[in-house]
């Protein structure tokens, strides 16, 4: 391993940083209403998500971003947000998946982190599955598996296929070195 950290390593090492740009991106600090946002609460929420809830870095960023977007949209402090403010903000999201993604972050922030019941009336939209996607048959999967030459590739494929983990979660797992005893 070289001495130059990868971008992903730098992100992990900077998770405790309190700068606005590290929290949610530098573009938020350009707006005058960002002065009404309590960035210490945002940083603490970020720590709550990553440490207490053990969420991935991508999920933490997404949830922090959802809260920041709400606060930027309303131009209010988090203590002054109302159900009507949240409703107006969520009405911007027409796609049910986008709506649900925003709702996840906001529910975690208001209900679990702040302990407020503002989010109780909001429900997740029903999941819509697109069944038009091609699903491989067992025979297709067997032929793919048999086409793999490397034993390590076969092991990774079986682990991926049987673990039920999302691909990002699976990639974050550490595998032992080949040949190590």
Tell me the pLDDT tens digit for each residue of 119-172.
888 888 887 766 667 778 889 889 999 999 999 888 888 888 888 777 777 677
pLDDT, residue 87, reads 94
Confidence class for position 177, pLDDT limits 50, 70, 90: low
Mean pLDDT for the stretch of residues 61-67: 94
pLDDT, residue 126, reads 83
Measured CA distances, 154 to 69, 94, 158, 166, 180 (Å): 43, 41, 6, 18, 18
Residue 57 in contact with residue 15, Cβ under 8 Å? yes
Tell me the pLDDT tens digit for each residue of 22-38.
444 444 444 444 566 77
Query: What DSSP string describes 84-121?
Result: HHHHHHHTT--SHHHHHHHHHHHHIIIIIIS---TTTT
The number of beta carbons lying within 10 Å of the beta carbon of residue 107 is: 19
Domain locations in the chain as residue ranges: 7-113, 138-171
**pTM of this prediction?**
0.59
Q: What share of the chain has pLDDT > 90, as a percent? A: 41
């Amino acid at each position: 391993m070289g001495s130059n950290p990868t971008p992903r390593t730098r992100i992990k090492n900077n998770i405790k940083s309190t700068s606005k740009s590290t929290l949610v991106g530098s573009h938020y600090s350009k707006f005058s209403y960002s002065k009404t946002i309590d960035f210490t609460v945002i940083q603490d929420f970020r720590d709550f998500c990553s440490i207490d809830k053990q969420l991935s870095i991508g999920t933490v960023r997404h949830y922090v971003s959802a809260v920041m977007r709400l606060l930027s949209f309303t131009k209010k402090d988090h203590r002054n947000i109302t159900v009507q403010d949240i409703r107006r903000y969520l009405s911007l999201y027409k796609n049910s998946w986008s709506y649900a993604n925003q709702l996840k972050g906001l529910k975690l922030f208001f209900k679990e982190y702040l302990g407020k019941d503002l989010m109780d009336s909001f429900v997740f939209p029903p999941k819509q599955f697109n069944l038009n996607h091609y699903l491989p048959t067992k025979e297709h999967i067997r032929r793919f598996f048999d086409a793999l030459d490397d034993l390590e590739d076969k092991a990774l494929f079986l682990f991926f296929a049987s673990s039920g983990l999302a691909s990002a979660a699976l990639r974050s797992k550490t595998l032992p070195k080949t040949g190590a005893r």
